[in-house]
Structure 1
Amino acid sequence: MHNHQEQIEKANNEIAKLKERVMNHEWNLHYHVMPQANWMNDPNGFSFFKGEYHLFYQHHPYDPKWGPMHWGHVKSKDLINWEHLPIALAPSEDYDKDGCFSGSAIEKDGKLYLMYTGNVWIEGKLDEDLKQVQALAVSEDGIHFEKIKENPVIAEPPEGDINTFHFRDPKVWKHENTYYVVLGSKTKNNTGQALLYRSRDLINWEFVSVMAKGDGNFGFMWECPDLFELSGSEVLVLSPQGVKPEGNDYHNLHQAGYVIGQLDYQTGQLQYGPYYTLDHGFDFYAPQTMLDDKGRRILIAWMDMWESDMPTQEFGYSGAMTIPRLVTMKEDRLYTLPVPEIEALRLKEVYYDNVMVDGGKSLDDVQGDCLELKVKMEVQNATMFGLKLRVDELTDQETVLHFDKQEGIVSLNRDKSGKGPGGVRKTEVTIEDIVSLHIFIDKSSVEVFINEGEKVLTARIFPTKEAKGISFFADHQMKIESLHKWNLNRSIS
């Protein structure tokens, strides 16, 4: 165990050297969780323990690019003001020497347990050159973790049509008096699937069954599965790799979405309906949810995408989390909205009502690069309308949210958003008399919630400091029925 503590100290020292420079960089986000330095990807171990929210994340503390995975760690009393804690897990044992991959957390007997995938690279064929096992680490205080002596607690994938190399991302929960875990997997012929295990004590696990398997265009590997109950149904959130584009859907490298169904806990079979995307923007992957002490289901995801250009890397950091989102169900669809706690960050309200737009329109004091915007637009005669965010006319920068009433489509265009990848993402949306928008802009991100969470579009953008303009446009008459704008306080130190 000494080796584990040594590896953690070494990693913490590395981050300490760099964090001040990173914090003051112009693209460093003010109210989104980011690493203090170097690389971050998937959220891990999102949980509520001893009155506080804990969020861990995949972290490479020595480089702004992906590498041997550690678990970074932040905690919060309110989901908004986050405090960085020492690194929780580092590769240190023969079963996890090349990475402590993604996993989850659960409280048992007043202690916080992390369940994660230990990864080891083996010389051999690429993509078949790894051994993945499931392991546990435990903490009394929620900060200092020790890997248990019984590790690995799941040492081999089960028999059957199950790929023996890709076997990861345990999400653990308790149902009645039994612990369950769902794992990401694929078949020998590369069809994504999820595996279900159960245990009485978190240490001795029994394989139940292949819980769900892809059919048709459903990817070659299911990563980061998460199963939870909501409104009397079971929801399986997952991140399928290798889904092919269809129409306006699935244009990111990998996807993140959900199915709704019923889980038979005896057989371990999930009967489920259609697959839906959770966020229709560019940068959203590996979402993980938790249940808090208020009984709310809260989701957070990695606000980036694999193999995307990340312009912050040359400044020593990369990766961020979305703002935490409240998950509810409406007519067999998930709706996601920002957690209301974010209202505590609001400064200086600007308010307008009944403003006519025909052509283009900007409003005094409605601009910025760290803000919240709530708008209700009465469509009236407009057939094409929307907003431009992070505008700088001198350098021709803008990020455009465009509604097409005839087609029933909203698009987010970042071709002129500054540095980084461009592109357009589109999705179907209800466009009736009133369209409501809830938009969060941070130094290098934008999150757009449409019609109270019916659709969400998230993007990382990297404009210059000068790009702070916001303007409305419409091809025919449209009315801004109401607009609230707040600057938002920095909440992560």
Structure 2
Amino acid sequence: MKSLMEAMMKEDQLHVKAPGNWMNDPNGFIYYKGEYHLFYQYFPYGLQWGTMHWGHATSPDLVTWTHHPIALFPSKGYDQNGCFSGTALEVQGQLFLFYTAVKYDVINEENVHVIVDDRFESSQAVMISEDGYTFDNLTSKQQIIPPIIDSALGDRTHTRDPKVWMFQDRYYMILGTKTRDQQGKLLFYTSEDVFHWSVVNSYTKPGLGYMWECPDMFSLPDSLTDAQQTVLLMSPEGIHDGPLYTSHAMCSLVSFQEESCDIVIPDHLLMVDYGRDLYAPQTNLDASGRRVMVAWMRMPLPVEKPGEKPWIGMMALPRVIEVKNGHIYFRVHPEVEAYFKTNIPIEHIDYTKPFQLKTVLQEHEVLDIGGYRVWLEGGRLHTDRAGVFRGLDQYDLQFQTPVLQGKCELNIFVEPNLIEIFVNQGQYVLSNVVYDLKAYVSYTGEIECKIADV
């Protein structure tokens, strides 16, 4: 008979998927003690958002993932209604998990997992693990930043998603919040010891939504000039009025002075992914020191298959972030590329398993992947998922990239519920959740197909 631990463990290939029930934001993504740890927002009791826990998966290579028992769950007065998103940092060999702790002002008597009229308070907390697998929710947690009372500083309810890093001999934290007049805002804190934090700076900019979730910031060299560039990722709420989602993952090069946390964000931000399903990206360094991003793929419906526990929510492929000539590239991680080794004719594809397609698309050519249409028009890559989206025509169905200015080289990763298109080696990425792919690929041009050699 399997032990309880073995019964709770589940393996995912390529994409991290909810092990039954609900998944959203990636949390605590880190390479720690020789393997990758990825935590995630998890509601273990149903197929909808509810009281947040932290699920936990590990991988030796960013391709094969093993799920483990829940890492963080509500256990304190300050986090009794949820352990919201956050990040991880190794401190003297221990794994520190920073997260937003949530406490409701009033309890919904009919369903304790539902917030009443947005009435709750948020604080910031930390959980310490000795080994990345042992999590004592009763004795290893500590509240490190109490709820914000001064509305001139930030919002008591909507301040969350701590990202923590070390610079020189101090620790720094960035949080997303909003102003009194409903503008997105960043808060910067510093600490000498990880436990006691002081505000060092803040920044707001009108016109970029009403709350800035999941901020992440890091430095990268421009591969053409070698000049250091600071990249900002964040997910503003209220940035877009489309029919599907009003909040989107955005990115930009910014001016940033690390010691003082002085920052200037330009007027124009780019989409992290032009399919608009991707949200809440988080980054860290891989085993080779590359800056790698993971992110949540939002899904409007659960996946229900015979013999499988219904689930909703999955992660995008890990992507290496690079800067080239002032442009932010999101390239598929080389471990993923190496996973697909065997060339096969497209008529031999097993559509129940992931596969890879490569081609160079010409103007007006159409690539049809089981009812998901991809074409080039006016120098922009276009996609249409209307035929593979369960008739959900109230949602966004057609998407496009900016003008590509020349070539349209595609590296496409396909699995039954997700298609990710890397354009011109990561110049742009367009990823879409799908539900009803048919078993065919139709294309008149030259195309290369690969499957995993496992």
TM-score normalised according to structure 2 size: 0.88
Deviation at 1:418, TM superposition (A): 4.6
- Quick one: structure 1 residues 126 and 187, their matched pair in 2 at CA, closer, same or farther if it must change by over 3 Å? farther
Deviation at 1:202, TM superposition (A): 0.8
Corresponding residue of 1:134: 124
2:170 corresponds, among 157, 178, 190, to 178
1:272 corresponds, among 241, 251, 265, to 265
Letter aligned with residue 367 of structure 2: L
Deviation at 1:365, TM superposition (A): 3.4
Partners in 2 of 1:300 and 1:174 — Cα distance?
21
CA contact (8 A) 1:300 1:321 kept: yes
Partners in 1 of 2:140 and 2:312 — Cα distance?
34
After superposition, residues 165-204 of structure 1 pair within 5 angstroms as 165-204=157-196
Corresponding residue of 1:8: none
1:242 corresponds, among 230, 234, 238, to 238
1:256 corresponds, among 220, 230, 249, to 249
Corresponding residue of 1:470: 441
Letter aligned with residue 90 of structure 1: F
Partners in 2 of 1:238 and 1:158 — Cα distance?
24
Partners in 2 of 1:488 and 1:117 — Cα distance?
38
Corresponding residue of 2:425: 452
Divergent runs of 4+, >4 A: 12-17, 124-128, 147-150, 311-315
After superposing the two structures, state which structure 1 stretch, 30-39 or 131-140, moved more.
Answer: 30-39
SS of the aligned residue for 1:281 comes to coil
Partners in 2 of 1:484 and 1:421 — Cα distance?
31
Residue 298 in 1 paired to residue 288 in 2?
A: no
- Quick one: structure 1 residues 152 and 244, their matched pair in 2 at CA, closer, same or farther if it must change by over 3 Å? same
1:413 corresponds, among 375, 378, 384, to 384
Residue 97 in 1 paired to residue 80 in 2?
A: yes
Unaligned regions of 5+ residues in structure 1, if any?
Answer: 1-11, 24-28, 352-362, 392-397, 474-478
After superposition, residues 68-83 of structure 1 pair within 5 angstroms as 68-83=51-66
- Quick one: structure 1 residues 421 and 315, their matched pair in 2 at CA, closer, same or farther if it must change by over 3 Å? farther
After superposition, residues 6-405 of structure 1 pair within 5 angstroms as 16=7, 30-123=13-106, 128-147=118-137, 151-157=142-148, 159=150, 160-210=152-202, 212-216=203-207, 218-231=208-221, 232-245=228-241, 252-273=245-266, 274-304=268-298, 308-312=300-304, 316-346=310-340, 348-350=342-344, 364-365=347-348, 368-377=351-360, 379=362, 383-389=363-369, 391=370, 398-404=371-377
1:206-234 C-alpha deviation (Å, 9 max, x unpaired): 11111x32322x11111111111112122
Corresponding residue of 2:225: none
CA contact (8 A) 2:212 2:235 kept: yes
- Quick one: structure 1 residues 92 and 13, their matched pair in 2 at CA, closer, same or farther if it must change by over 3 Å? farther
CA contact (8 A) 1:30 1:443 kept: no
CA contact (8 A) 1:194 1:222 kept: yes
- Quick one: structure 1 residues 190 and 344, their matched pair in 2 at CA, closer, same or farther if it must change by over 3 Å? same
TM-score normalised according to structure 1 size: 0.81
Partners in 1 of 2:275 and 2:124 — Cα distance?
32
CA contact (8 A) 1:136 1:151 kept: yes
Deviation at 1:59, TM superposition (A): 0.4
Partners in 2 of 1:282 and 1:222 — Cα distance?
17
Deviation at 1:375, TM superposition (A): 2.4
Partners in 2 of 1:206 and 1:102 — Cα distance?
21
Partners in 1 of 2:172 and 2:401 — Cα distance?
35
Deviation at 1:384, TM superposition (A): 1.0
1:219-269 C-alpha deviation (Å, 9 max, x unpaired): 111111111111212211100010134xxx996331001121222234322
SS of the aligned residue for 2:200 comes to strand
- Quick one: structure 1 residues 469 and 91, their matched pair in 2 at CA, closer, same or farther if it must change by over 3 Å? same
Deviation at 1:271, TM superposition (A): 1.8
Partners in 2 of 1:411 and 1:378 — Cα distance?
11
Corresponding residue of 1:6: none
Corresponding residue of 1:429: 403
Partners in 2 of 1:69 and 1:442 — Cα distance?
28
CA contact (8 A) 2:360 2:409 kept: yes
CA contact (8 A) 2:155 2:180 kept: yes
Partners in 2 of 1:163 and 1:309 — Cα distance?
32
- Quick one: structure 1 residues 92 and 449, their matched pair in 2 at CA, closer, same or farther if it must change by over 3 Å? same
Corresponding residue of 1:4: none
Partners in 1 of 2:253 and 2:408 — Cα distance?
27
1:179-205 C-alpha deviation (Å, 9 max, x unpaired): 111111000111011111011111000
Partners in 2 of 1:182 and 1:30 — Cα distance?
32
1:282-333 C-alpha deviation (Å, 9 max, x unpaired): 420000000123110000000115xx34454995211000010111011222
- Quick one: structure 1 residues 311 and 384, their matched pair in 2 at CA, closer, same or farther if it must change by over 3 Å? same
CA contact (8 A) 2:24 2:40 kept: yes
Letter aligned with residue 155 of structure 1: P
Letter aligned with residue 136 of structure 2: E
Give the number of aligned pairs. 431
Corresponding residue of 1:441: 414
- Quick one: structure 1 residues 418 and 239, their matched pair in 2 at CA, closer, same or farther if it must change by over 3 Å? closer
Partners in 1 of 2:46 and 2:281 — Cα distance?
23
- Quick one: structure 1 residues 206 and 418, their matched pair in 2 at CA, closer, same or farther if it must change by over 3 Å? closer
- Quick one: structure 1 residues 290 and 266, their matched pair in 2 at CA, closer, same or farther if it must change by over 3 Å? closer
User: Identity of aligned pairs, percent?
Assistant: 33
Corresponding residue of 2:450: 486
SS of the aligned residue for 1:342 comes to helix
1:117-173 C-alpha deviation (Å, 9 max, x unpaired): 110111299555111011110111111123566721001327324222111110111
Partners in 1 of 2:125 and 2:42 — Cα distance?
18
- Quick one: structure 1 residues 309 and 226, their matched pair in 2 at CA, closer, same or farther if it must change by over 3 Å? same
